[in-house]
Structures are given as structure tokens and as C-alpha cells.
Amino acid sequence: MAKKYLREKKSWIAFFVLLQLFTLLIAYLDTTVPLGSLVYMIFLSSLLFAGFLIWRYHVETGFYKQLESWDTAEGAEALPEAGSPFEAIVDKTVKDMAEAFTRESSERMTALELEKDDLLSWIHEVKTPLTTMQLMIGRVEDEKLKGALNYEWLRIHLLLDQQLHQKRLPFMSNDLYIESASLTFIIHGEIKSLQSWCMQKGIGFELSLDAQQVLTDAKWLGFMIRQLLTNAVKYSQESDIVIQSRCVGERTVLEIRDHGRGIPARDLPRIFERGFTSTLDHQNHASTGMGLYLVSKAAQPLHINIDVKSTPGEGTAFTLTFPAKNSFHHIQGV
């Protein structure tokens, strides 16, 4: 702060130095002026000026030091009191900006809530004709046509489900309910929902769930597993998807491994980015690049670590490591 203050007052300091040099110049030109007394006077005035600068430094920088350390999260009420007219101008400007920002944020949040509610309402309304459509598809006698219709119905259902959770994600902390959830129940339910698609592609499942219970939000964990299984089925053909769970110390580890086309090494660092689609399938407009992004975002409030290993041409393995029970003590009441 001292360096900043000196830079701010450099014009004053330069003026004072020039004034002393001018005084010396006069003494040099006018021999009647005693040079020794003049130098002594300049020395004393320099000391007084230095003392004045130090005093003004403490007076003028107090407000700005507090402003620099101001935590914006505390709001405009935490701003320091202004001690001069210019500080009052700064104080008023910052408070006006903070109030405008707070007002705009509130308006945007309200608009976002309304948009979310409208979209969620629309998705729930669309699910009604989708359910009717599924019943109608069940009455189709042509098995080939029935399989094709089931696949397209499932695509629509999964896209709606993804959009539903995408809109809920910013408010996920308000929707969490941490409990002891059954991995077997959740995984079997997600496999059943993809059954027709898996049969069409000749894909089976190999389950080995040594660890049965995890402390998590069952609904959001189901969404994460659904996205991972959807990706595994989408990029596999006539092979088995292996799902295993085990305990490692106090943590539970769930692994979902497919034998599909795999992910190139250059893509691995980016697969959880919003909107990223594989460089192998970049021209596929059906890929949204949102599935794994949503999985990574949903994992954060649940304290789930995600690891991925992949070999092109051999398959991909996603590993979910659940937190120890005591990690949830601070949000158990949510």
C-alpha cells in the first residue's frame, strides 16, 4: 500500500523537490543569501514534509486498506465508513453498484426459477403421452417394428430425463436426501429401463456386487448410473457390460466397464466438459456432450470421486468412489 500511495502522490513530491531546487538556484545566483542557512532550512522543511507524508499516509489509506480486504460476500453493509468527501464518493458508488448487482442477481434468479418451473412442467406433461405411446407400442405385433419403436421411445425418454436433471442441477443442494441406498436395487432398475435397447444390440450384463449399501442420494445416484450405462450401451455392440462393487477401507467403489470402442487418450481430459463430443464421432449431431458433464456435476455434492480408464478398441471403465460415512455428517440433515 505504501508504494501505491507514493505513486499516487508523486506529483506532490516532485513539486516539493523542484521547489527546493529552485530555492537553491536562487541562493546560487544571489550571493547575498547565506547558503548554509538555506540548506539547513531545506533540510528541516524536508523532514517536516516527510513527516506530513507519513501522517497523511495513515489518514488517507485506512479506508482503502479496509476496502481492499472487504469480503464481497458480506454485502455493502460491511464496507468501511468514509472519512473524507472523496472517500464518501467511493463509498456511495460501491454501495450503489453492490445494490444494483444484488437486485439484478435476484431478478435473474427469479427468471431462472420461472424458466425451470415452466420447463419441468412441460417435461411432466410430455411424459403422459409418452407413457401412452409405450402402451401402444406394447400392442404392436411386428417384433422388428416394435423394437425400432421402443428404441426411439427410449431415446426421447432419456433426452427428457437428461433435460429434467440438467434444470434441477443448479438447485441440487435443496433436493438432496442422504440415506443408505441399495446398489442392487438402483442398478437393476436402471438395467431394466434399458432392457429393450440392450436386447436389440445384443448386450448383456455381468454383475458382481460385493458391497450392497452406500450412503448417498438414491435418485441422483440413479441418474448418474443411468448416464454411464447409456453411454456404455450406446458405444458397445454384442458384448457384456461388467458392473462390480467392492469395499476399499471405509469407502465403497463401484466400477462400470464396457467392451466398446473406447475413448482416445487425447479426449480423456475433456470428457467431463460441457458440450464436449468425442473427436471420433464429431460429426454425429445426435450427441449432446451433456451426459458425462452432468454426471461430474452431480457427483460433487454427493462427494463421489469419478475416475475413468479407457483403451481404444477395448473399452472404458468408470469408477465411482463413494465417501466414508463420516464425510456426510455436515450435510446429513439436508
Residue-level pLDDT at 224? 94
Cα angle, residue 69 at apex, residues 63 and 74 outer, rounded to 5°: 100
Dihedral, 87, 92, 98, 99 alpha carbons, nearest 10: 160
Residue-level pLDDT at 334? 44
Cell of 219: 435418485
Span 176-231, pLDDT tens digits: 888 899 999 999 999 998 988 888 889 999 999 999 999 999 999 999 999 999 99
Span 7-63, pLDDT tens digits: 888 888 888 889 888 888 887 777 777 777 778 888 888 899 889 888 888 877 777
- Residue 226 has a CB neighbour count (10 Å cut-off) of 22
* Cα separation of the two ends of the chain: 44
Residue-level pLDDT at 304? 93
- Tell me the C-alpha distance between 56 and 53, whole Å: 5
- Tell me the C-alpha distance between 174 and 176, whole Å: 6
Span 50-93, pLDDT tens digits: 898 888 888 777 777 777 766 666 666 666 677 677 777 777 88
SS3 label, residue 236: coil
SS3 label, residue 100: helix
Residue-level pLDDT at 169? 85
> Beta strand pairing status for 240-248 and 204-209?
parallel
Q: What is the model's pTM?
A: 0.66
Cα angle, residue 133 at apex, residues 129 and 139 outer, rounded to 5°: 150
Which domains can be identified in the chain, with CATH numbers? 179-331 (3.30.565.10)
- Tell me the C-alpha distance between 319 and 324, whole Å: 16
Residue-level pLDDT at 279? 65
Percent of the chain with pLDDT over 90: 26
Distances (CA, A) of 92 to 82, 89, 173, 185: 9, 5, 35, 59
Specify whether the CB–CB gap between 225 and 256 falls below 8 A. Answer: yes
Span 129-151, pLDDT tens digits: 888 888 888 888 888 888 888 88
- Tell me the C-alpha distance between 78 and 137, whole Å: 63
Nearest to 9 by CA among 46, 52, 48, 42: 52
